[in-house]
């Protein structure tokens, strides 16, 4: 698998590389799987738009793929 997930990666990129990430997005109430913005929006942009701490999100994502 690839290196750690970073806040600059897109939602789509993360889900494609690490399917386990979907459960983390669900935990944060992010409907990324069906969202058109997921292809171009970075984790940082999406987290900011939804009022989510991007550092906590990235930490949880990396824990899920470890």
Residue 29 pLDDT > 80, yes or no? yes
The pLDDT of 17-41, averaged and rounded, is 85
Q: Which of these, 64, 38, 63, lies nearest to 50 by C-alpha position?
A: 38
Q: Which pLDDT value is given to residue 1?
A: 46
The more confident residue out of 40 and 53 is 53
pTM for the whole structure: 0.87
Task: Give residue 38's pLDDT band: very low, low, confident or very high (50, 70, 90).
Answer: confident
Task: Give residue 11's pLDDT band: very low, low, confident or very high (50, 70, 90).
Answer: very high
């Amino acid at each position: 698998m690839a290196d750690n997930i970073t806040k600059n990666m897109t939602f789509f990129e993360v889900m494609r590389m690490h399917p386990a990430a979907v459960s983390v997005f669900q935990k944060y109430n992010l409907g990324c799987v069906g969202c058109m913005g997921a292809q171009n929006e970075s984790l940082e942009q999406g987290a900011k738009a939804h009022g989510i701490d991007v550092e906590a999100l990235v930490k949880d994502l990396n824990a899920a793929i470890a």
